[in-house]
Chains A and B, each alone.
Chain A
Amino acid sequence: EAQVTQNPRYLITVTGKKLTVTCSQNMNHEYMSWYRQDPGLGLRQIYYSMNVEVTDKGDVPEGYKVSRKEKRNFPLILESPSPNQTSLYFCASSSIPWGSARQETQYFGPGTRLLVL
């Protein structure tokens, strides 16, 4: 079954304690991305990756790190979490539509709810 998996699904932590949220996809997608969802703000992109070893900042990258050492995995790292990073996080993956007529979309994981105390 084609899917994007995230772990953990729920996490409560304390300010300053480093954490990693894992993301894995089994569709051989080049493109992977992390988003956070906050009330009234919709989804905001944190980081994205066009392929292995290629990552770039989204709209709200501050306080986050990512790495893309393998095509299937794209972990999100919070080196020193703060309460304003309490949010619902989604990982997504996609093929890249190299032609203008080709339609592609992002497949989203189930989400990770993070609470930073």
Chain B
Amino acid sequence: DQQVKQNSPSLSVQEGRISILNCDYTNSMFDYFLWYKKYPAEGPTFLISISSIKDKNEDGRFTVFLNKSAKHLSLHIVPSQPGDSAVYFCAASRSFNKFYFGSGTKLNVKP
């Protein structure tokens, strides 16, 4: 059973608007969460992370929100750019040993 789920396989957004990618998890013991971006034929690259002691972390156009009571994680990209078009994976870990990834959301930012 998947412990980290991304229920939207794809998302299409107009350039300049906000992209919101969602992720749900089942294990309340997870204490570290990450978002990765992946282009075709490349390895995933790190975007942003958040530890369970926080509920928000911001880095430029990217903000991650953590709602522990709902076991929900979201990534906001504002403003969205065509170069943001990629597959986005959320991941979770407990004490930084095993990592669990979602199945990914393919974001398409239209010019």
**Do A and B actually bind?**
yes
Given the interface contacts A42-B104, A101-B51, A101-B53, does A33 sit within 8 Å of B99 by beta carbon?
yes
0 or 1 for each of A80-117: is its CB under 8 Å from B? (1 = yes): 00000000001010101100110111111111000000
In the assembly, what is the distance between CA of A103 and CA of B100, in Å? 17
Total interface residues in chain B, CB < 8 Å: 26
For this complex, into which size category does the number of interface residues on chain A fall?
20 to 34
Partner of A42, one of B31, B45, B89: B89
For residue A94, which residues in chain B have a CB less than 8 angstroms away from its CB?
A: 96
In the assembly, what is the distance between CA of A74 and CA of B51, in Å? 27
> B residues touching A (Cβ–Cβ < 8 Å)?
4, 6, 31-32, 34, 36, 41-46, 49, 51, 53, 89, 91, 96-104
> A residues touching B (Cβ–Cβ < 8 Å)?
4, 31, 33, 35, 40-45, 48, 50, 56, 58-59, 90, 92, 94, 96-97, 100-101, 103-111
